[in-house]
Amino acid sequence: SPAERVLLLSHCLRPSQTCPGKLSKRGLVCPEDCREDCVVGRLRLAALAAGYKGVCIASGGAMAIKYVAELRPRGIVAVACHKELAEGVEAVLGMAPDPGEAPPIVVVPLTRDGCVDTEVDEAQALAAIALGCTGQAAGA
């Protein structure tokens, strides 16, 4: 169920020069009235519209892992660079008392790395968010 899933996004996807979001202890917080048309906002809204339990726009892997530890989702969609994805999957698997009890993780690697103004295949990310969701299509 989407209500048991979380979306983890790397904050490096945001437009570094124009993003009005503020970093907090729980990640980047997009303003409700944000006028910036960016992939972070579009993916965040798609997950929320699909009924996801939460979205964390993390400034690093440790923050994303802490978020997962707090919310204990039953499914995760993660968008980040290969390094952060590998470390994150390993950490989530390590949290489960038994590897078979770890939540399924769908990973979407960045198409351009670099820690600032990175890119992702947005259609691939939206498809991952929509997996198994019924009703309103993600991004619609």
Task: Please state which CATH number belongs to domain 2-130.
Answer: 3.40.50
Strand (E) or helix (H) holding 105:
strand 105-109
pLDDT at residue 99, as a whole number: 74
Residues 113-138: what's their mean pLDDT?
Answer: 84
Residues 16-23: what's their mean pLDDT?
Answer: 90
Give yes or no for residue 140 having a pLDDT over 50. Answer: no
Mean pLDDT, the chain, rounded, equals 90
**In the chain, domain spans:** 2-130
Give yes or no for residue 98 having a pLDDT over 90. Answer: no
pLDDT at residue 135, as a whole number: 57
Task: Give the pLDDT band (50/70/90) at residue 105.
Answer: very high
